[in-house]
Structure 1
Amino acid sequence: MTLRPWILALLLLAAGAIGGAVVLAGQALRPAPAAGDVRGYLMAHPEVIPEAIQVLQERETGKLVAANRAAVTTPFPGAVGGNPAGDVTIVTYMDYACGFCRASLPDLAKLVGEDAKVRVVYRELPILSAESRDAAAWALAAAEQGKYMPFHTALFAAGRPNAASIAQAANAAGLDLARARTAIASPAVATELSRNLDMARALGMTGTPAWVIGDRILSGAVGHDALQKAVAAARAAR
């Protein structure tokens, strides 16, 4: 039977990712086949193909993150938490209208409380609504006043962003409202939001929350344990 071109391409990709050995789920290590036997091996063990593709995707993601590391990990002034001098940085892309982002806050807080060497960079990614963008702009204005975390926490606690909840969070954080409005209208805030959206697209992010830890990108409300493991892996790779 003649294999279709896309299947052959897939097999070649998988073969490249296999390298010197193939790990089969629940089985011992087996030596990689000789070049001429790759097709037959993969046809006999198709379960290695998804694993190989995942390895390739992770490699490509790592290259993208490494190429853009400074732009990703350098915070908008004031939009940073945890230990500013930490040895591992968690970059979190969030939207104030995102319920999964809100659900992730306790996991992130627990991790920061447990690990005094974690630095957190907050990146606004307002993709869900017009109110999301308003909230993100106010958050950056709060950062400009050194009050990012009080505003961030208060707004998520208030529920979905709207004019009333944003005003409530601004008051709770003790913002200078006139100064905040000036900051919101500034090129710096507009540029930050635009850059975050562009970077998210470049890194292949499809929603919020998204996390960049070391050379990895995690998507969704992954939970405390996944964040902790990613931090440990990034620390080990230093």
Structure 2
Amino acid sequence: MPSALRNSLLTALLALVFGFLGAATWSWSGLADNRTRAYLLENPVVLEEMFAALQQQQAQERLAEVGSPAYMPFPGAVMGNPEGSKVLVEFTDYNCSYCEASLPDVTRLIAEDPDLKVVLRELPQFDGSEAAARMALAAAMQGKYVEFHEAMFKLGPANSETAVAAAQQIGLDLERARTDAASDVVTVELAKNFQLAQQLGFNGTPGWIVGDTLVNGFVGYDRMKEALEKAGPPLG
């Protein structure tokens, strides 16, 4: 790591720690003397903990800036309890293998907690994914989002043909679904999801908002369960 970058990182981490301690204004020269820097470099776990705390603080700041729109679902694109007070938001792509692997974990979390609301945000990034994402939102408009969501992962890979097959399998009004999938309402929703993902710092799927915090990638049932138990209420 370049010296200038390392010093900047140490400065930020030290400022964070002393901010937690209620310190007033400190300068680099007053804090990061040779002994302090030596201690931190000899005890990297301290740096790791400080960096994790800094990342969490920055994530919460980004989430607070975005506010309530991040938690507001496209009508019908919800799993679990639509009125639940515990909120889990997932940015998902039907051609994302990690999103598919996360589905059983999400289903298990919902089964274990009747107060859990899972908001699905379609974020199609791979070839063929947009057709499936559009059909998923069209399914939501017919009250069959969950059925389509599960069927689409089973039928994959996602493309225009498998999206239609999933729609037929769950009994969608296909003519209406095709019209809805191509509508401005769906186009605006997808654009909003990409903007939200960018604002929150997600560069792939799955990306999660767990109450008042952000989680990147496939983390498994245990980590998600722990995050939900520790999470505060949704921000905004």
| Aligned counterpart, 1:158 | 155
| Aligned counterpart, 1:122 | 120
| Aligned counterpart, 2:132 | 135
| Aligned counterpart, 2:10 | 11
Q: Distance in 1 between matches of 2:38 and 2:234?
A: 35
Post-superposition offset of 1:54: 2.0
- AA paired with 1:65? L
- CA change 1:237–1:133 in 2 (3 A) is closer
1:227 pairs with 2:224: yes
1:77 pairs with 2:72: no
Residues 37-85 of structure 1: CA distance to partner in whole angstroms, max 9, x if unpaired? Answer: 5332132222122322221111011011122131110000110111111
Q: Distance in 1 between matches of 2:15 and 2:74?
A: 40
Contact (CA 8 Å) 1:127, 1:133: kept in 2 or not? yes
Post-superposition offset of 1:8: 2.6
Could you tell me which of 162, 166, 189 is aligned with 1:169?
A: 166
Give the TM-score normalised by structure 1: 0.87
Could you tell me which of 36, 40, 54 is aligned with 1:41?
A: 36
- AA paired with 1:143? A
| Aligned counterpart, 1:192 | 189
- Count of residues in Structure 1 that have an aligned counterpart in Structure 2: 224
Q: Distance in 1 between matches of 2:19 and 2:65?
A: 27
The answer for unaligned runs of 5 or more in structure 1 is 23-34
1:211 pairs with 2:174: no
- AA paired with 1:176? D
- CA change 1:45–1:152 in 2 (3 A) is same
| Aligned counterpart, 2:25 | none
Post-superposition offset of 1:235: 4.7
Q: Distance in 1 between matches of 2:202 and 2:178?
A: 30
Q: Distance in 2 between matches of 1:135 and 1:21?
A: 46
| Aligned counterpart, 1:32 | none
Q: Distance in 2 between matches of 1:147 and 1:226?
A: 29
Post-superposition offset of 1:218: 1.1
Contact (CA 8 Å) 1:42, 1:49: kept in 2 or not? no
Q: Distance in 2 between matches of 1:21 and 1:220?
A: 29
Give the TM-score normalised by structure 2: 0.88
- CA change 1:159–1:8 in 2 (3 A) is same
Could you tell me which of 59, 62, 70 is aligned with 2:60?
A: 62
| Aligned counterpart, 1:110 | 108
1:90 pairs with 2:88: yes
Contact (CA 8 Å) 2:209, 2:215: kept in 1 or not? yes
Q: CA RMSD in A?
A: 2.2
User: Greater relative contact order (Cα 8 A, min sep 6): structure 1 or 2?
Assistant: 2
Q: Distance in 1 between matches of 2:88 and 2:116?
A: 7
Q: Distance in 2 between matches of 1:102 and 1:155?
A: 10
Q: Distance in 2 between matches of 1:60 and 1:158?
A: 38
Contact (CA 8 Å) 1:90, 1:211: kept in 2 or not? yes
